[in-house]
Amino acid sequence: MSNSSRVILLALFSSLVGPLTANAAGHTYQGICEASAAALVDASHVAVASDDFSAIMIYQRGKPKPVTQFAVDDVTDIEGGARIGDTIFWLTSHSLNSSGEDKKKRKELFATTVSADGTLSNSGEVYRNLRADLAAALGRSEDRSKALINIEGLAATPDGHLLIGLRGPETIPNDRAIVLELANPMQLVKLGTGDVGSAQMTRVVTMDLSDGPGTSGRGVRDIARVGSRYLILAGSEPDGGNPPPKLFWWDGNAEGRVTLGPDADFSGMTPEAIVVWSDHEGEILSDSGGMMINGVECADKDPPKGAFFPAINLKF
């Protein structure tokens, strides 16, 4: 998610070392620069959403140019993607915009269906009351929470639930990150049977994503299932802040106990999305809005020619 702090940091980085590129171990994908959510289409293609672009891009693994795209109308700040069967759920941040405005298009849980040919199509209906449901699960009012809740992570469980990871800020009591489990996503978007009602939040799990006693905690930037456990991409609440991004493993335990995840070099990146290709390989994608491309600050509302985002490969 772009903000003024990230723009300043990226500008400083570019002034010191030249134009931003992926780190030495990485590569790039083209067309957008603010990659913020991802979900597999098939074994070699991934759908990538942006903070502010009007389409979801589909890329072949490791190939820079998109093979196709799927238009999304009147929705911004998509921050999470997770696949259940042939359905990909997409979730926006549900936060206020940079001007403090509460926009309807930033409060959506919606679904797309993956066809046999690897294309996406609209599916079900948009659910817009999730922020109130999250606030209630946290024992708060939506009015108080609207300036505080900021969703960034989304993962599917083996039993068809969704795990929702919060970035922060005041949603991290005692510097612990929060993950909530949503039990009825299909019903919420009118794809499942039974009474919809409201979101069924079956548990709230808090996690210590710090570097140890006396250090600052991190929020969730993304979460993804890898085999029987979950990989958590954790980061500071402000972009580019401290502590720096870090990966953790969580086995789903109710106490939120985590272990240190794979090592990764995030230099030149604002990592925000996990791609899991298999139980042993994946990628981390960067939301690099604000970087300078040919003298133009990249923003996906109107991406400049040559827009790209960095990515790195990951071994599990």
The pLDDT of residue 170 is 56
Beta carbons within 8 Å of 43's beta carbon, 6+ residues apart: 277
Nearest residue to 2 via CA among 196, 289, 265, 251: 289
* Chain Cα centroid distance, residue 262: 18
> Has residue 5 got a pLDDT over 90?
no
> Has residue 157 got a pLDDT over 50?
yes
Q: 296-297 and 292-293 as β-strands: parallel, antiparallel, unpaired?
A: antiparallel
Instruction: Please give the structure tokens belonging to residue 252.
Output: 């789903």
**Entry pTM:** 0.91
The pLDDT tens digits of the residues spanning 159-216 come to 999 999 999 765 566 789 999 999 999 999 999 887 677 899 999 999 999 999 989 8
The pLDDT of residue 11 is 41
The pLDDT of residue 99 is 87
Instruction: Please give the structure tokens belonging to residue 86.
Output: 């042939």
Beta carbons within 8 Å of 32's beta carbon, 6+ residues apart: 48, 50, 53, 57, 300, 303, 307, 308, 309
Confidence of residue 268 (pLDDT cuts 50, 70, 90): confident
Higher pLDDT, 271 or 26: 271
The pLDDT tens digits of the residues spanning 102-147 come to 999 999 999 999 999 999 999 999 999 999 999 999 999 999 888 8
- Helices (DSSP H) in 50-141: which residue ranges? 130-137
Considering the chain, what is the average pLDDT of its residues?
89
The pLDDT of residue 238 is 77
Report the half-sphere exposure of 312 (CA within 13 A, side-chain side): 21
Report the half-sphere exposure of 191 (CA within 13 A, side-chain side): 22
Q: Is the Cβ–Cβ distance between 106 and 80 less than 8 Å?
A: no
Say how far apart CA 194 and CA 189 lie, in whole Å.
Answer: 12
> Has residue 83 got a pLDDT over 80?
yes
The pLDDT tens digits of the residues spanning 11-60 come to 443 333 333 443 444 899 999 999 999 999 999 999 999 988 999 999 99
List for the chain the helix, strand, coil content (%; round to 5). Answer: 10, 40, 45
Q: Which residue type, as a one-letter code, is found at position 247? A: L
Say how far apart CA 65 and CA 30 lie, in whole Å.
Answer: 5
Per-residue exposure over 207-232, b if at least 16 CB sit within 10 Å of its own CB, e if not: bbbbeeeeeebbbbbbbbbbeebbbb
